[in-house]
Amino acid sequence: MSSKNWRTATRLLHDAPNRTEFGETSEAIFLTSGFVYDSAEQAAATFTGDVEHFQYSRFGNPTVDTLQERLALLEGADACIATSTGMGAVSSALLAHVKTGERVVASRAIFGSCYWIVTSLLPRYGIETELVDGDDYAAWEKALSRPTAAVLIESPSNPMLDVLDIRRIADLAHKAGALLMVDNVFASPLGQHPLKLGADVVLYSCTKHIDGQGRVLGGAVLGSETWIKETLQPFTRNTGNALSPFNAWILLKGLETLQLRTKAMAANAATVADALAALPGVVQVRYPGRADHPQAEIARQQMNDGGSLVAFEVENGQAGAFACLNAFDLVAISNNLGDARTLATHPATTTHMRVSAEERAKLGITAGVIRLSVGLEDAADLIADLTRGVEAARQA
Ligand SMILES: *Cc1c(COP(=O)(O)O)cnc(C)c1O
Ligand 1 center to 238 CA (angstroms): 22
What pLDDT band is residue 5 in, cutting at 50, 70 and 90? confident
Domain ranges of the chain: 8-256, 258-395
Ligand 1 center to 205 CA (angstroms): 5
Taking all residues of the chain, what is their mean pLDDT, rounded to a whole number?
Answer: 97
**Domain 258-395: what homologous superfamily?**
Aspartate Aminotransferase, domain 1 (3.90.1150.10)
pLDDT in tens, 161-216: 999 999 999 999 999 999 999 999 999 999 999 999 999 999 999 999 999 999 99
Q: Which atom of ligand 1 is nearest to the CA of 206?
A: 7
> Does the N-terminal peptide bond of residue 159 adopt cis geometry, omega within 30 degrees of 0?
yes
- φ/ψ of residue 369, rounded to 5: -80, 135
Q: Which atom of ligand 1 is nearest to the CA of 219?
A: 7
CA–CA dist 9, 161 (Å, integer)? 27
What pLDDT band is residue 355 in, cutting at 50, 70 and 90? confident
Beta bridge partners of 152: 106, 181
Identify the burial level of 174 via C-beta atoms within 10 angstroms of its C-beta, where 0-12 means exposed, 13-18 middle and 19 or more buried: middle
Q: Which atom of ligand 1 is nearest to the CA of 185?
A: 13
Taking residues 130-139, report their average pLDDT: 96
pLDDT in tens, 82-133: 999 999 999 999 999 999 999 999 999 999 999 999 999 999 999 999 999 9
Q: Please say whether the structural domain 8-256 has been given the CATH code 3.40.640.10.
A: yes
Whether 1 shows a pLDDT value over 80: the answer reads no
pLDDT in tens, 25-75: 999 999 999 999 999 999 999 999 999 999 999 999 999 999 999 999 999
Cβ 346 vs Cβ 321: under 8 Å: yes
Taking residues 335-351, report their average pLDDT: 97
Beta bridge partners of 201: 181
The predicted pLDDT at position 2 comes to 57
Total residue length of the chain: 396
Ligand 1 center to 16 CA (angstroms): 25
The predicted pLDDT at position 373 comes to 98
335, 336, 342, 347: CA torsion to nearest 10: 30
Least confident of 160-164, 295-299, 359-363, 392-396: 359-363
Q: Is 87 in the pocket of ligand 1 (CB under 6 A)?
A: yes
Whether 261 shows a pLDDT value over 90: the answer reads yes
- 3-class state of residue 177 by DSSP: coil
